[in-house]
Amino acid sequence: MENYLKINYLCPHCRSYLRVWNNIILKIKSDLKNSQGILLLNAEPGNYTLIHHSSIKFEEGEKWDFICPVCGADLTATEINNNLAKIIMIDENNKVFDVYFSKICGEHSTFLIQEDNIVEKYGEKSSSYVDYFMSKFKKKYHT
């Protein structure tokens, strides 16, 4: 996706912009370690590069909470799965997508959802969440 520099990311709660240059800026928190800080996620979908302070130690399989740095809202996607976080993406054509990504360290899983369709999925662990999305989409149309 070569036009990823024209993509904006927003908090689903306060609609504040979360992107600065090539990074999505989020607050992270671990209750297990009593640790928190700022995390910079690469803004290119499917790129799992991140930047953080050296004092923050990540362990494979550990779950972190993602929080909007502007309004303080928890970004957990409780409507899909508590292991996923959700933000909004607006692409270069002003199309709006819900972006879901794993809160588990080392679990590469990202989804772009538009109008109850999985438009793109990234990461080797994404297949483990597909059924959660399909279940939600079915419930929406059968209630």
- The domain locations on the chain are 4-141
> Smallest Cα–Cα separation from 68: which of 19, 31, 119, 33?
19
**What contacts 68, CB < 8 A, 6 or more positions away?**
11, 13, 14, 16, 18, 26, 27, 75
**Mean confidence (pLDDT) of the chain:** 90
Tens of pLDDT, residues 83-131: 999 999 999 999 999 999 999 999 999 999 998 899 999 999 888 898 8
Q: What is the pLDDT of residue 142?
A: 47
pTM: 0.90
Tens of pLDDT, residues 11-28: 999 999 999 999 999 999
